[in-house]
A and B are shown apart, each in its own frame.
Chain A
Amino acid sequence: MPDLRPLARGAAGLALALAVLAAISALAHLPVGAASPDGALRLSLRTARARVEICRERSAGELAALPAHMRQARTCEETAVDYRLEVAVDGRPRVDRRIVHRGLRRTRPLVVEELVLVAPGERRVEVRFLPVDPPPGAGELPRPAFAGTLRFDAGRVRVMALADDAASLRIVDPG
């Protein structure tokens, strides 16, 4: 092919450069995805009250086995209690799983971050967050739950969180 003449070559150079920039601009603003047809319930729960301290009196034999300076008559152990999260929408179970404490030694709070997709409209929602196998002597642990009807809009998220006393669940978004 013959070489382009200088003027044509300059125009071609400008056109090619602008085409490259246009391509870059287009690739930098690529429309992706589509509006979600569903609504969603986001459960954002956090509680540090699922740790229980269980105390007991040491026996005489146990005390004798300890060095003199460590002979405390009462001993306490802290135990993390796992919880179970159950979510049902219109009576159908959507989530049922055990929630364990965070951290390598499971000494950090219980945290739930769960997104449940829900068809738009009025929906009956039931959520239970219950302790699993609490040890004897653990006392009364919070058992938050929610049962009610919520309205879900397509593409929108309803957010449920623990109330301040961790004893109940509430919707925190403005609706």
Chain B
Amino acid sequence: MTAPAAPSAPPHPEPGPAGPPRAARGVTALLAPLDRLFERVYGSRFNPLLQSGNLAVLCFLVTLASGLYLFLFYRIAEPHASVAHIQDEVFLGSWARSLHRYAADLAMAATVLHLLRKLAAGQTWGPRTLAWISGLALLGVVMFCGWTGLVLVWDAQGLQIADQGARLLDLLPIFSLPIRRAFDGVEPVPSSFFFMNLFLHVAAPLGLAAGLWLHVSQVARPVLLPPRRVRRATLALLALFAALWPVALAPAADLLALPGAMHLDLFYAFWLPAAKRLPPLALVGLWAGVVALAAAAPLYWRPRRPIRPSAVDEDLCTGCTTCYQDCPYEAIAMVPRAGGRQSSELVARVDPERCVGCGICAGSCAPMGVGPAGRTGRDQLAEARGWLLAQPPSGREVVVIGCRNAIAGRAADLGVAAAELHLVGCAGSVHTSVVELLLRSGTGGVFLLSCPGRDCSFREGPKWLAERLFHGREAELRERVDRRRVALGAFSPGELAAARREIAALRGAVAALEARPESGVVVEPECAATDQLVEVADA
């Protein structure tokens, strides 16, 4: 077994995709302790923190279902009394109200966590600008839903939110009478106010659905819900918690009482204490500043180097559509071929505005005709050939090809010699021909280490890699390659101890196999011109 070595630069560092900006380190440091805790307990596969966006959608559905039930019993003429009626007399009313409230709070927490994860990953700009901006808009709508929901209860908190909202609206010189007068205690609050509030509370989720559609409109095969196990566990726990710890109902709002002690929902009304102390213009300025700062993130939260989008060599493209199917961002279109070699009617074309430079298309292309500059299958093969020449294989070693995002400076934890570690920008971009070349040239084994599927920086890298290695998806690892020498593992940075064990297991398996390096190995791109064959000298 090879002794662990100190981490060092890989022998042939791959020009990977653009990473997060330096400023993201702060956010990463903020999330790291939480990630470590949750991964230790749930593993990366079921870690809910890695599925914060999915969790928010699930909670949204729970609030929708429970809200529809509550809607049946809510009366705008007697808002607080009807909530008390729901709480005390309606069948499952207290449970449904608690479920509604806890799901709404969890949705907000998950949404903010999702936003922080995107900041940490630097996914705010370029092709992801639309998703970032629409995500911020969704956060705004979620908040608005929460505010109107809290006002519906019409307790002290609801009155404060309504009063502060009216105070801000009264800044607009368009109302002949200040809206705030509705809460001055001279007359009861008109039921038209509660009708409008209820209408907005019910209508806003429609905006959420539209915003969600926009949010995922630039990704292929969007996954909206967590895996079944996480989904069931979340639903069960929410239901259990709502039953064991029902939400209490505070006394009704009193228009003739000064704001005093109350219970604050920090997820939605965190701004209320500050709002009471600030003049309305300052409060609007503060809100506007925060929103502008977040919305402008695509301008300043940028990676250290620009994206290098994929390009298609039309002479090599066979029009097979695999890259078009595999691209997680729908950045590749099949268009009619214009002139040139007429091997197919269609040819792939990359939209650089949508391409994030993940290189997953490079791993999908059997003729190796597509990929980011310097990272196509041909570039990978050339690089691997150089690696083999510099480091002749012994037949016993296990080469680790790891996703840079998964290892992220933790290579020493893998117990792999620096010479046996090869970092790539995304495991999904690895062409199976590289694996074949390494093994047929005498390398003992190849361990491919990717990010967890739900935490892949480029969404579908681990999925496509597994399909290509073990399930015959184009560009598949050919049958002549000994599968006993290949392993694939998906690990987060917090799970590298488990990765180390699996690498050691592969090393043990390889040691039991007979070393049979082939001489004069030729690994060729499918359907390629003969003058572009990649030949490898006898290792």
Give the distance in Å from the alpha carbon of A126 to the alpha carbon of B106 in the complex.
Answer: 51
* Whole-angstrom distance between the Cβ of A100 and the nearest chain B Cβ: 11
Name the segment of A68-76, A77-85, A154-162 touching the other chain: A154-162
Inter-subunit contact B173/A104 (CB<8 Å)? yes
Docked pose: A103 CA to B170 CA in angstroms: 11
B88 close to chain A: CB less than 8 A? no
What's the minimum C-beta distance from B164 to chain A, rounded to whole angstroms?
A: 14
Q: What chain A residues lie within 8 Å of B467 (beta carbons)?
A: none
A33 touches B105 (CB 8 A): no
Contact A34 B101, beta carbon cutoff 8 Å: no
- The bracket for how many chain A residues form the interface is 35 or more
Please tell me if the beta carbons of A29 and B263 are within 8 angstroms of each other in the complex.
yes
Distance in angstroms from B56 CB to nearest chain A CB is 13
Question: In chain B, what residue has the closest Cβ to A11?
Answer: B41
Q: Which residues of A contact B264 (CB under 8 A)?
A: 29-32
Q: Is A167's beta carbon under 8 Å from chain B?
A: no
Interface string of A7-41 (1 = CB under 8 A from B): 00100110011100110110111111111101110
Q: What 1/0 flags go to A34-58 for Cβ under 8 Å of B?
A: 1110111010101000000000000
Question: Is A63 an interface residue when CB atoms closer than 8 A count as contact?
Answer: no
Interchain CB contact under 8 A, B109 and A24: yes
Q: How distant is the Cα of A35 from the Cα of B261 in the complex, in angstroms?
A: 5
**Residue of A27, A111, A159 touching B185 (CB-CB under 8 A):** A159
Residues on A with beta carbons closer than 8 Å to the beta carbon of B267? 24, 27-28
- The answer to whether the Cβ of B40 comes within 8 Å of any Cβ in the partner chain is yes
The answer to whether B261 and A27 have CB atoms under 8 Å apart is: no
Indicate if B3 sits at the interface (CB-CB under 8 A): no
Number of interface residues of B (CB under 8 A): 42
Closest approach, in angstroms, between the C-beta of A159 and any C-beta of chain B?
Answer: 5
Residues of B within 8 A of A22 (CB): 241, 245
The verdict on A98 contacting chain B, using a C-beta distance below 8 Å, is no
B233 to A109, Cβ gap below 8 A? Answer: no
Assembled-state Cα–Cα distance A4/B185 (Å)? 60
Residues from chain A with Cβ under 8 Å of B42 in the complex: 13, 16
**A172 and B186 within 8 A (CB):** yes
B4 at the binding interface (Cβ < 8 Å):
no
- Which residues in B have their C-beta under 8 angstroms from that of A161? 186
B275 at the binding interface (Cβ < 8 Å):
no
Interface residue B258 (Cβ < 8 Å from any Cβ of A): yes
- Residues of chain B whose beta carbon lies under 8 Å from any beta carbon of chain A: 37-38, 40-42, 101-102, 105-106, 109, 173, 175-178, 180-181, 184-186, 233, 237-238, 241, 245, 247-248, 255-267, 273, 498
21 contacts between A and B (CB under 8 A): A21-B106, A24-B267, A28-B101, A28-B105, A28-B247, A28-B267, A29-B263, A30-B263, A30-B266, A31-B264, A33-B273, A36-B258, A36-B259, A42-B184, A44-B184, A102-B177, A109-B176, A109-B177, A111-B177, A159-B184, A159-B185
6 smallest A-B Cβ distances: which pairs? A36-B258, A44-B184, A35-B260, A27-B266, A108-B176, A29-B263
